[in-house]
Structure 1
Amino acid sequence: MVVDNPLESTNDKSPGLSVVIVTVYSSWYLEQCLTSLEHQVGAPEMEIITVYDERIDDVSELKEKFPCVRFHFVSGLQTQEKLRAAGAVLSQGKIVALTVDHCTPEENWCRRIIEEHAGPYAAVGGALEKGMQPDTAINWAVHFYDYCNYGYYQNPVSRGLARDLSDGNVSYKREALNKVADIWMDSFHVPFVNRALLASGGKLLLSPDIIVYQNRNIDFGRAVQVAYRRGRVFGSTRVLRTGPYKRVFYTFCSFILPLLLLGRFVINMLYKRSQMAAIAKAFPFIVLLAVLWSLGEFMGYLTGRAIFKSGQTYD
C-alpha cells in the first residue's frame, strides 16, 4: 500500500540527508556517534535526529555540545523499532539514513550515501567493522552473529545488489519509504522494510565503502539474553505478516535454523578469509548465540508474542 506523505513533506528547503540515531545504550556512546558525524568530510546539508527513551541518562550536556542536533524523547521504555519509527517520521531529508548510538560512521559516510543514492536504489547500506571495544571472545561473537549478520556485512563485501541491509548502516530514499509506510510507521523492523521494498520492485545496494564501526562492549550474561529475546521478537513479528500454513512451516524449520545460520557464517567467512583468529576464539560463543536466537525465534512463532511486558526492552 502506498501512503501519501506519511513522513513530513519535503520541499526545496528540505535537507539532502536526515540521519536518525536510535539511542538505546548510553549517552557516552551517543557522544562518540555525534562527534563522528560532526567531523564528516564533504557532507551535504543534513539534519541529525537522535531518538531516546527513559533508559538514557541525562543528555543536557550533549544538547549544549551539539546544538544543531534534534533530541527527541519518547516516554517509557521502547524497542529499537519503535524509536526508529519515531525518528523516521520526524525526518525531513530526501534521503533518510539510520544508525544506532554505539556505531560511529567513517568520515566519508554521509558523502558516500548521497553519491550512491544517485543510482536507481531504494535503499543503500554498507559494511560494519568492529570498533574500539575490548577484543573479548563474546564481543567478537556478538559482532559477527548479530551486527554483521553471520559475516554478511563484514568487509570485504562485494559492491552490488543485496538481499538485505543492516539496521546499523542503512539509508532510504524518502519516496521508497513512502511506498511501504504501512510496514514501518508504528514499528520500523529493517529486515521487513527491506523485504517489502524488494517485493515492490525496489533495489538494495550494498557498498563496501559505506562503513560504520560498532563499539558496543557486552558481557556474556547480557549477550545470551539479547540473542534469545531478539530471536523471539523477530519470530513473533514475522508471524503477524504470514498465514497459518507458513507459520507452521517456520515453526518446524526453527529446529534446523542453528545449522542454517552457522552454515551461512562458515560460508561467508571462508569466502572472505577475514579476522580468522578472532573467529576461532569466538566460534563456541557464536554457536551458543545462534542456538539461543533460534530458540527465541521458535517461541515467537509458537506463541505469536514477544516476551516483553510493559517497560521491558531487548537491547
Structure 2
Amino acid sequence: MSEPNSPLMSIVIATPDDFDVIRHTISYLLRQTVRASLEMVIVAPSRAQLNLDQTRLSALLAEFAQVQIVEVGAIRSIGRANAAGIRRAMAPLVALAEDHCFPDPQWAESLIRAHRGPWAAVGPAVRNANPNSAVSWADLFIGYGPWLWPTTAREADFLPGHNTSYKRDLLLGYGPQLEPMMEAETLLHWDLRQKGHRLYLDPSAQVAHTNFSLWRSWLPVQFYNGRLFAGARVRETALWRRALFVAGSPVIPALRLWRIWRGLEPGEQRRRFRSCVHALAIGLILDGAGQLVGYAAGIGRAVDQVARFEFHRFRHIRDEDRRDLSLA
C-alpha cells in the first residue's frame, strides 16, 4: 500500500545532455490530470550537464509528487538509461517517456487505472505528431502500426517500445538482464508473456509520436533498428538456429508489410498506408537487411547508432514539421 503522499507512478525520461532536450515533453507531463501523484525520474549524464536551475527544479517539485535526477555518465544506450531510471524509481508503476513523444492530459490517469487489472504492462494508443509526409507515416507504421489510434482496448502480444508502463517489481526481477531487455522491448514483452504475464492496450491513454521525416535519417535508422532487434533476439541462441533466422531474413520485408496492412483499420489508416507504401517498402527492406546482419553477426555497434538517432528528434524532421510542433 502506498503512503498518502507517495507517487502512484514514476515517469522515466532520459536526456543525453541538458534539460532543453526533454523540455517539450515535460510541458505535456505538467498537464497530466494526476501530476501530483507522479514522480519524474530524469536520467542524465550528470546534474551539472542537465543544467536544471533551482527555479525550474522548484517549479517541477511544486507540480509533481517528487523529482529525481539520476546521473549515469555519457548516455550511449537507451536501454541502460531507462534501466537506471527504473531501478531508482519509487512508485509501484513505472512508465517510459521520450523527448519526441507527447502524452495527452489523461494519459497517466488512464495507465494507473488500467494497472488495477491483472496486467504486467499497459501501453497507449499512438497518433502521428507530424503527419504531413510519407516518410513520417512509414516510420509510424513500422514502429507503431499495431497500436495506432483509433483502436480498441484489448489484451496484446506486445506493446509500444519506449512508451509503455510496467509494474516495477516485474522489471526489477530481471536483475542484470534488464538493460539488454530494455534495448528491444518487444523481446521483453514476449518474455513476460512466456512467463504467464498479460499485456494490455488502453486507447484511453494516448500519445502523439514524432516520427523521422528526413530520408537521410530514417533509412539508416531502419537498418540499425533491425540489427539491434535481431542481434538481441539471438544473443544466446545456438548457431544452427541463427542460421535458420538468416535463411528466413529475405522474406521479412514482405511479411512485415502484409502484417502492417492486415492490422490497420479500414478507412483512413489504410488510405495513409497506400499513400506511403513506396517509403514503407524501402524502409522494410533496410530493416530486413539489418535483421539479416544482426542474426548473422550480432548487434555490433547498433546500440550506439540507435541511441544517436533516438535523441534530438527535431534534428531529423523537416523544417515545416519543426515549426508545427513548436506551436503544439
Q: Give the TM-score, by structure 1 length.
A: 0.85
CA distance in 1, matches of 2:114, 2:55: 33
Shift of 1:70: 2.9
1:262-277 pair list within 5 angstroms = 262-269=257-264, 271-277=265-271
| Number of the residue aligned with 1:78 | 76
| Number of the residue aligned with 2:30 | 38
CA distance in 2, matches of 1:288, 1:213: 24
| Number of the residue aligned with 1:279 | 273
Shift of 1:98: 1.0
1:207-260 CA distance string (max 9 Å, x none) = 111111112454111100111011111111111132233212211111100111
CA RMSD of aligned residues (A): 2.7
Shift of 1:140: 1.8
The percentage of counterpart residues that share the same residue type is: 24
Given candidates 296, 301, 305, the residue that maps to 2:295 is: 301
| Residues 1:145 and 1:26: Cα distance change in structure 2 (over 3 Å) | farther
CA distance in 2, matches of 1:171, 1:186: 17
Given candidates 107, 120, 123, the residue that maps to 1:125 is: 123
Instruction: Structure 2: give runs of 5+ residues left out of the alignment.
Output: 62-66, 310-328
Q: Which amino acid aligns with 2:81?
A: L
| Number of the residue aligned with 1:112 | 110
Given candidates 235, 243, 247, the residue that maps to 1:240 is: 235
CA distance in 2, matches of 1:53, 1:282: 38
Secondary structure, in 3 states, of the residue corresponding to 2:147?
coil
Shift of 1:145: 1.2
Q: Which amino acid aligns with 2:259?
A: R
| Number of the residue aligned with 2:132 | 135
1:49-103 CA distance string (max 9 Å, x none) = 122459xx96425774344343334322412112111111121111011121111
| Residues 1:240 and 1:126: Cα distance change in structure 2 (over 3 Å) | same
Give the paired residue count: 299
Given candidates 13, 16, 21, the residue that maps to 1:21 is: 13
| Number of the residue aligned with 2:319 | none
Q: Which amino acid aligns with 1:48?
A: M
CA distance in 2, matches of 1:163, 1:39: 30
Q: Which amino acid aligns with 1:292?
A: L
Given candidates 158, 162, 170, the residue that maps to 2:164 is: 170
| Residues 1:117 and 1:311: Cα distance change in structure 2 (over 3 Å) | closer
Instruction: Structure 1: give runs of 5+ residues left out of the alignment.
Output: 1-9
Secondary structure, in 3 states, of the residue corresponding to 1:291?
helix
Higher helix share: 2
Q: Which amino acid aligns with 2:133?
A: T
Q: Give the TM-score, by structure 2 length.
A: 0.82
CA distance in 2, matches of 1:287, 1:64: 49
